Amino acid sequence: MAKASNKAYIFFNCDADKSEASMNIFYNHAVYKDTKTSRKNLWKKVKEEFGAERIQIAEDNLKAVELAITEGDPVEASNLMQFGAIRAVDCY
């Protein structure tokens, strides 16, 4: 039996420097498990924030952000976003 992942991901709106002080977990109220469905929901959240212009992603980076979130390491998508970040937390 495959071992379930002990990771979860949190999307944060933040300042341009991605300072921890600007990341408020109570703003978005969601933690995304490391499952296919939750990763799709995380991508949906990022697309909503992008569409509402609360975060910035260069048009040519959108596919890379989607792939990092849905298939790779969601935290890596943070490198391609401005005013948004994804962080991983351990679950026990």
pLDDT in tens, the chain (92 residues): 556 689 999 999 999 999 999 999 888 889 999 999 999 999 999 999 999 999 999 999 999 999 999 999 999 999 999 999 999 999 98
What is the value of pTM for the model shown? 0.91
- The domain spans of the chain are 7-90
pLDDT of residue 2: 53
pLDDT of residue 92: 87
pLDDT of residue 12: 97
pLDDT of residue 88: 96
Q: What are the DSSP calls for the chain, one per residue?
A: -PPPP-EEEEEEE--TT--GGG--HHHH---EESSHHHHHHHHHHHHHHHHTTSSEE-GGGHHHHHHHHHTS-HHHHGGGEESEEEEEEE--
